[in-house]
Amino acid sequence: ELKVEQNPLFLSMQEGKNYTIYCNYSTTSDRLYWYRQDPGKSLESLFVLLSNGAVKQEGRLMASLDTKARLSTLHITAAVHDLSATYFCAGDLNYQLIWGAGTKLIIKP
Amino acid sequence: DSGVTQTPKHLITATGQRVTLRCSPRSGDLSVYWYQQSLDQGLQFLIQYYNGEERAKGNILERFSAQQFPDLHSELNLSSLELGDSALYFCASSGNRGVSEAFFGQGTRLTVV
């Protein structure tokens, strides 16, 4: 059974700071996904990480995958208010997405 | 725009009633997933269909049922509604090219009064 744990679940930070969200998973997952959700809105796909050592970057967000450690990270560089949202990671087992609980990120001006 | 269409966007109904939520997946996607998201809750996986067949079942109540039609659109039926069923219901779809990245619809906000 694949379990996905995110931490922290809540993060309040100042603009301009860097921080990392962690996503641990319990067993082998073929792929790891990161999604963003604004309050009351849908989920938007951010990154798909397909292999060990994969690193993807989009703007101030960078995601990486370490399959040996069963860990993915989402790093935020020089945070801006527009990045305030809830971020979910999801593992993939037999094409079934298993979701973390989400990290609610609040970035204060 | 993810290409996944859900209708209706909002639905207000009374306890005990039955509603149907509709989802049209992205063109070419064979898998459809249904999720429930209550206020301040995470995503609860309900059920997945692949090319018309049920593929996986999550925490779906017996009062809820779903199906995927030959044209690949899907419907989620919720019956004997209770106040606690008030939530955002999302549909997502994914393709069949080895990567199950799911694309989400805008959701149906169901309010049971």
Q: Residue A83 in 3-state DSSP?
A: helix
**Tens digits of residue pLDDT in B18-58:** 999 999 999 989 999 999 998 766 788 899 999 999 988 88
Q: Counting one residue from A and one from B, how many pairs have CB atoms under 8 Å apart?
A: 50
Q: Which residue of B has its CA nearest to A100?
A: B42
What's the distance, CA B30 to chain centroid? 14
Please state, in angstroms and rounded to a whole number, the distance separating the CA atoms of residues A21 and A54. 16
A102: tokens are 């989400």
Instruction: Verify whether the Cβ–Cβ distance B100 to A50 is below 8 Å.
Output: no
pLDDT at B8: 97
For residue B1, which of B103, B110, B108 has the smallest C-alpha distance? Answer: B103
Q: Which of B55, B101, B107 sits opposite A45 (nearest CB)?
A: B101
CB proximity B48 to A under 8 Å: yes
pLDDT at A52: 80
Identity of residue A103? T
Q: Is A96 exposed, middle or buried (0-12, 13-18, 19+ CB in 10 A)?
A: middle
Spell out the per-residue pLDDT of chain A, length 109, in tens.
Answer: 888 999 999 999 999 999 999 999 988 776 899 999 998 899 999 999 987 888 999 999 999 999 889 999 999 999 999 999 999 999 887 767 889 999 999 999 8
Identity of residue A25? Y
Q: Which of B48, B56, B99 sits opposite A31 (nearest CB)?
A: B99
